[in-house]
Amino acid sequence: MEIRYYLTFEFTGVADKFVYTVAEGVKNGIREELLGRNWEVHGTVIEFEDVSGRKIAVNARYIRRCQGLFDAGIYPARDERDNSQPDMMIVVEGMSKPLSYNDIEPDEAALVASVMAGVESDVCNFVSFTDEDGEDNLIPADKIMLLESIHYDDDFAEEADEDKDDK
């Protein structure tokens, strides 16, 4: 019998629980990251991939509860084969509903994740990306509680961080 592992995240002011099916190592790694984290060295953003390949970035400052479940069936996780998911979903502090975007390029999602991960606590940095209608969206990166997005190449996220450091 195969055991399935889940991570659930809850945030203040957001009624939804965010549930992800993950590998056992990811579940255990997130637990260790939250319990043994040196915030000044690693920053506040924890990144992982669910079993469907979606990238998840969580700002640990906003987590009110994280559960590591296994094969419990208590919370229905989204089906990994479900193609109706938006390309990118962002949960922002003070907004009761997540923002969903379609037709987002992987490099746009990587940019949002890299800016979110590189935010300094005393600076309000905005990240900008273009939505499916071709309109600019500017969101304060330090207020992003959770980012869920299509798979992007980690090399791009590293290049975006390097480009940001050069400026």
Gyration radius of the chain over CA positions: 16
CA distances in angstroms from 29 to 39, 76, 117, 149, 156, listed in the order given: 16, 22, 18, 20, 23
pLDDT band at residue 78 using 50, 70 and 90 as cut-offs: low
More confident residue, 142 or 83: 142
Percent with pLDDT over 90 in the chain: 43
* 3 state SS of 75: coil
Residue 143 has pLDDT above 80, yes or no: yes
Give the pLDDT confidence score for residue 83 in this predicted structure.
60
pLDDT in tens, 89-115: 999 999 989 999 998 888 888 889 888
* 3 state SS of 140: strand
Residue 22 has pLDDT above 60, yes or no: yes
pLDDT band at residue 167 using 50, 70 and 90 as cut-offs: very low
pLDDT band at residue 160 using 50, 70 and 90 as cut-offs: very low
More confident residue, 80 or 107: 107
CA–CA gap between residue 41 and residue 28 (Å, rounded): 20
